[in-house]
């Protein structure tokens, strides 16, 4: 039990996490690509593309950065937190997340492994 005198002159720091959190992490073999949650899409494209990931698809080129990542979902969260990322490719070979930026074109290539 706490009286008002005991809680006076205390500082309560609050923290707001700025990076989106991934609820489910699923280990998948091969490569997976997808869109940032923050990509500006038309209403038609938004319904078809938002939150989608594409297993066994590589998007070559347009790399801006790469990071270690635990899963495609983790990679998508990293992409969504990066101001320039429009889409990503995650490779389970080395657990690498490749952030990409090309608002004009997205070439998708089927790739196993």
What residues have CB less than 8 Å from 73, skipping those under 6 apart? Answer: 22, 23, 24, 25, 26, 53
Range 14-27 burial, b when 16+ CB lie within 10 A, else e: eeeeeeeebeeeee
Tell me the backbone φ, ψ of residue 105, rounded to 5 degrees.
Answer: -155, 145
Q: Is the pLDDT of residue 101 over 80?
A: yes
Residue 77, SS3 per DSSP: helix
Domain parsing of the chain, residue ranges = 20-110
First to last CA, the chain: 59
Residue-wise pLDDT for 4-37, tens only, equals 666 666 666 666 656 555 555 566 678 888 888 7
Candidate CATH numbers 1.10.287, 3.40.1360, 2.60.120, 3.50.4; the one for domain 20-110: 3.50.4
CA 78, 47, 58 angle in degrees (round to 5)? 45
pTM here?
0.67
Residue-wise pLDDT for 64-91, tens only, equals 999 999 889 889 999 988 989 999 999 9
User: Alpha-carbon distance 94 to 79, whole Å?
Assistant: 18
Please give the structure tokens belonging to residue 76.
């998508």
Look at residue 90 in the predicted model and tell me its pLDDT. Answer: 94
């Amino acid at each position: 039990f706490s009286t008002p005198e005991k809680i006076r002159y205390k500082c309560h720091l609050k923290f707001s996490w700025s990076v989106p959190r991934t609820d489910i992490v699923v280990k998948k073999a091969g490569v997976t690509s997808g869109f940032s949650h923050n990509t500006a899409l038309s209403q038609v494209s938004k319904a078809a593309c938002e939150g989608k990931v594409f297993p066994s698809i590589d998007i070559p080129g347009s790399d801006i950065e790469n990071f270690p990542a635990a899963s495609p979902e983790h990679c998508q969260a990293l992409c969504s937190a990066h101001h320039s990322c429009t889409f990503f490719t995650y490779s389970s070979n080395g657990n690498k997340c490749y952030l990409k930026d090309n608002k004009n074109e997205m070439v998708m290539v089927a790739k196993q492994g």
